[in-house]
């Protein structure tokens, strides 16, 4: 009986949370904004470590922006790469001198240090970040510029999507879509809690006031959001509602790299200070863990079957709805066919990642974090 009460309570609370996020997602409509009288100057900052294969594609997508070239600089910060990244950076700089390569000194390392160096050297007041393994749409900067026309924003969270080919990659793409959709819907409802460094825009002076908790290997995006939210309020954080600003990134190729990435993401959670982020994280965690536990519980207590089916069905329904709105926004509605497999996979993977985090030190690009 106690388990039934616990199970039902968390599923209901989780469903209420997701419904609020879904309401936020229904507001993802491009506002009819008049052209800006003066386009802002952007400094695009990218941290790079062993990205020689991906950098040319990213550079090409930035070169093709539907935005005045003289209004953009691109700062590429090398984080002690051990491949041909330095050579590639030199070639990119020669072909287009708007691309400025920088290199972290020996006593500095990691993405946070690279981003901070890039921001310190930036000429623009508006900073945009993406990752080296991404490529951006041609209206990326013009869409950001339009939304930054509202001077109340200190941080704009952008959409990111994964382009998958096989079953595993498409499952990742859909799971990633749920994360992006959750962050988008929550931001639209006024309680932002999730961001992705692959598509962020913020004010340089605001960033320089923040401490991104260097003790944590990951979290340059989440800690920035939380600290801006605490100092300037949630109203100063928005979501890029223009679907033409969604950035595309690559999936993890193996289960090992996928789990290691998620362990790296989860390892920063102990540094969270925003109570809304903590509450959301706990609700998501316990709702999924109780679904997993309930699937075993039914084999010992057959009377629990109806409770389990009702709880699982409700969770699947609200999860599917958030995926429907998000994939419509990112133009990935074909991924919805993987919704049921994801509903089975997600609780299992969340449990395993949480367990592995207790014993495994995360790694990134050949470096223990």
Two tokens at 153?
A: 């924003």
Q: What is the pLDDT of residues 244-282, one digit of tens each?
A: 999 999 999 998 888 888 888 887 887 888 899 999 999
Does the residue 97 lie in any domain? Answer: yes
Does the residue 187 lie in any domain? Answer: yes
pLDDT the model gives residue 220: 82
d(CA 307, CA 2): 13
Q: What is the pLDDT of residues 48-107, one digit of tens each?
A: 999 999 999 999 999 999 999 999 999 999 999 999 999 999 999 999 999 999 999 988
Two tokens at 3?
A: 């388990």
In this model, does residue 346 exceed pLDDT 70?
A: yes
pLDDT the model gives residue 148: 86
Residues 222, 148, single domain; the answer is yes
Helices (H) and strands (E) in the chain, counts: 12, 12
Does the residue 2 lie in any domain? Answer: no
Does the residue 123 lie in any domain? Answer: yes
pLDDT the model gives residue 152: 84
pLDDT the model gives residue 202: 97
Structure-model confidence comparison of residues 106 and 161, the more confident one: 161
> Residue 221 sits in which domain range?
32-253
Domain count, the chain: 2
Residues 166, 248, single domain; the answer is yes
Are the C-beta atoms of 9 and 307 separated by less than 8 Å? no
In this model, does residue 196 exceed pLDDT 70?
A: yes
Q: Of 190, 146, 176, 147, nearest to 24 (Cα)?
A: 190
Q: How confident is the model at residue 358 (pLDDT cuts 50, 70, 90)?
A: confident
Read off φ and ψ for residue 198, nearest 5 degrees: -75, -15
**Mean pLDDT value of segment 177-201:** 96
Residues 244, 363, single domain; the answer is no
Which CATH number do you get for residue 105? 3.90.550.10
Residues 184, 236, single domain; the answer is yes
Residues 288, 242, single domain; the answer is no
Does the residue 76 lie in any domain? Answer: yes
Q: What is the pLDDT of residues 282-317, one digit of tens each?
A: 999 999 999 999 998 888 877 888 999 999 999 999
Are the C-beta atoms of 67 and 145 separated by less than 8 Å? yes
d(CA 276, CA 184): 15
In this model, does residue 217 exceed pLDDT 70?
A: no
**Mean pLDDT value of segment 129-141:** 96
Are the C-beta atoms of 192 and 232 separated by less than 8 Å? no
Does the residue 268 lie in any domain? Answer: no
Q: What is the pLDDT of residues 219-236, one digit of tens each?
A: 789 999 999 999 999 999
3-state DSSP call for residue 197? coil
Neighbours of 76 (CB within 10 A): 26
Residues 71, 175, single domain; the answer is yes
Residues 159, 278, single domain; the answer is no
In this model, does residue 205 exceed pLDDT 80?
A: yes
pTM reported for the whole predicted model: 0.91
Radius of gyration for the alpha carbons in the chain, expressed in angstroms and rounded: 21
pLDDT the model gives residue 367: 60
Neighbours of 361 (CB within 10 A): 12
Read off φ and ψ for residue 135, nearest 5 degrees: -140, 150
Residues 214, 306, single domain; the answer is no
Does the residue 56 lie in any domain? Answer: yes
Does the residue 265 lie in any domain? Answer: no
d(CA 233, CA 276): 13
Residues 212, 323, single domain; the answer is no
Residues 334, 287, single domain; the answer is yes
Neighbours of 106 (CB within 10 A): 7
Residues 77, 198, single domain; the answer is yes
**Mean pLDDT value of segment 26-45:** 78
């Amino acid at each position: 009986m106690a388990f039934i009460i616990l199970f039902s309570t968390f599923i209901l609370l989780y469903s209420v949370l997701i419904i609020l996020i879904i309401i936020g997602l229904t507001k993802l409509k491009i506002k009819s904004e008049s052209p800006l009288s003066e386009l802002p100057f952007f400094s695009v900052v990218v941290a790079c470590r062993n990205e020689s294969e991906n950098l040319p594609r990213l550079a090409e997508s930035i070169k093709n922006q539907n935005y005045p070239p003289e209004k953009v600089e691109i700062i590429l910060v090398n984080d002690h790469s051990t491949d041909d990244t330095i050579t590639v950076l030199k070639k990119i700089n020669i072909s287009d001198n708007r691309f400025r390569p920088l290199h972290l000194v020996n006593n500095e390392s990691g993405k946070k240090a690279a981003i901070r160096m890039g921001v310190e050297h930036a000429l623009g007041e508006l900073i945009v970040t993406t990752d080296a393994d991404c490529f951006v749409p041609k209206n990326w900067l013009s869409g950001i510029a339009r939304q930054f026309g509202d001077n109340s924003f200190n941080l704009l969270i952008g959409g990111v999507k994964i382009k998958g080919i096989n079953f595993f990659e498409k499952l990742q793409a859909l799971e990633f879509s749920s994360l992006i959709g959750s962050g988008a819907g929550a931001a639209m409802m006024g309680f932002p809690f999730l961001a992705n460094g692959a598509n962020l825009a913020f004010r340089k002076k605001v960033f320089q006031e923040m401490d991104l908790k260097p003790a944590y290997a990951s979290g340059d995006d989440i800690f920035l959001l939380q600290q801006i939210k605490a100092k300037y309020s949630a109203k100063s954080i928005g979501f890029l509602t223009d679907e033409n600003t969604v950035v595309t990134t690559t999936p993890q190729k193996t289960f090992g790299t996928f789990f290691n990435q998620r362990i790296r993401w989860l390892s920063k959670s102990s540094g969270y200070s925003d109570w809304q982020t903590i509450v959301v994280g706990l609700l998501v965690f316990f709702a999924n863990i109780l679904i997993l536990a309930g699937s075993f519980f039914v084999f010992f207590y057959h009377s629990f079957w109806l409770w389990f089916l009702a709880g699982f069905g409700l969770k699947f329904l609200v999860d599917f709805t958030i995926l429907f709105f998000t994939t419509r926004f990112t133009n990935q509605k074909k991924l919805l066919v993987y919704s049921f497999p994801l509903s089975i996979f997600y609780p299992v993977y969340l449990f395993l990642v949480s367990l592995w985090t207790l014993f495994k030190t995360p790694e990134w690009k050949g470096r223990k974090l």
